Amino acid sequence: MRFARYELAGAEHHALVVGAPGEERLHDLRPGTTVLDVAGAGLPAAVEAASWARASSALVPIADVRLLPPLQPPSVRDFVAFEEHVEGVVRSVSDDGAVPAAWYDAPTFYFTNPHSMVGAHDDVPVPPGSTQLDFELEVAVVVSHAGTNLSPRAARDHIFGYTVFNDWSARDLQGREMQVNLGPAKGKDSASTLGPWIVTADELEDYRDADGYLALGLDATIGGRAVGRDLLSNAAWTFDEMIAYASRGTWVMPGDVLASGTCGNGGCLAELWGRTGVQDPPPLVPGDVVRLAVEGIGAVENRIVPGPSLSDLPFIPPARSRDRRRDRASGSATPHAPQEVR
């Protein structure tokens, strides 16, 4: 089953997707039911929701609508699970190109902005101040129900489905802020593509290999030019293991999105730049169209458009040098005395 969220005539809809690739159509879910509701209720409830939609709502051609991100996730964790990607990106910022030893210890992730999700075919503005915009080809899972301190075996039962994820990255902003050993932050803050829909986990079991990985083909093109191709099964950890790690000492919750991190072999431009020493293909600019396709799931395709200029935004000064006083300067405001409680 595939579930999507879309906009038509200014209204938001939640729907079941039917039809072969290129011929997809939409059946709205029961009124008041969202894709997040379906994900949180689990696979049996999804089957019932899909059955109701097929029988009770009219077909809507997908060409007539704007696809939204299939759900508004409560949180988004983005892992870095592909060694080949790490090798290439490290080479772009370091002479030796060695993968940090700590990378092998556990599936590291960072939290990204759940409010910056964009749809499968939405335009993506260049982040303010950036001249080195990059794409990142990833797959993400959507969590079905709450769990904590999960084993990898138990974590698999917490996967509702899979979707395509593009972690748009302003490499110049990212490089500056990560010198502070914190982040990434604004370098990843402006947009992440999620879509085109969620494919339920049962639909992809035929792709699972003997080691428990999903051997899904991943392809990236810019303006029709092939720039990346890999298999999801080249990740160093399975999604079961990534979810289990994320749940240690805390919770994963319904609708949470956990992304694989960027695949290798051209899953982003920065990896290619690191391997060749030249920016070819060059950073993304307005007019470029990036298409990311994942076997068994679908494809997203976004056009880069101009973003706000820094000169048009409020000025934020650099750090000011300050005297390190330990008491208030003369003439400063005096704190209010505490009020007597009666």
The b/e string for 53-77 (b: 16+ C-beta within 10 A; e otherwise) is beeebeebebeebebbbbbbbebbb
Give Cα 197 to chain centroid, integer Å: 13
Provide CB contacts within 8 A for 335, sequence distance 6+. none
pLDDT score at 341: 54
pLDDT score at 110: 95
Question: Could you report the average pLDDT of every consecutive run of 10 residues in the chain (342 residues)?
Answer: 98 97 95 97 94 97 97 97 94 79 96 97 97 98 98 98 97 90 89 98 97 97 98 98 98 98 97 93 98 98 97 94 84 58 54
Q: How many CB atoms lie within 10 A of CB 250?
A: 9
pLDDT score at 35: 98
Instruction: Locate the domains of the chain by residue range.
Output: 2-68, 76-308
Q: Which fold would CATH assign to domain 76-308?
A: Fumarylacetoacetate hydrolase; domain 2 (3.90.850)
Provide CB contacts within 8 A for 37, sequence distance 6+. none
**CA separation for the pair 21, 270 (Å, rounded):** 31
C-beta of residue 287 within 8 angstroms of C-beta of residue 224? no
pLDDT score at 182: 83
Q: What is the C-alpha end-to-end distance of the chain, expressed in Å?
A: 63
Q: What does the DSSP assignment read for 25-58?
A: EEEEPSTT--HHHHHHH-HHHHHHHHHHHHHHS-
C-beta of residue 62 within 8 angstroms of C-beta of residue 24? yes
Read off the pTM: 0.94
Q: Give the HSE-up count for residue 75: Cα atoms under 13 Å, Cβ half-sphere.
A: 14
pLDDT score at 215: 98
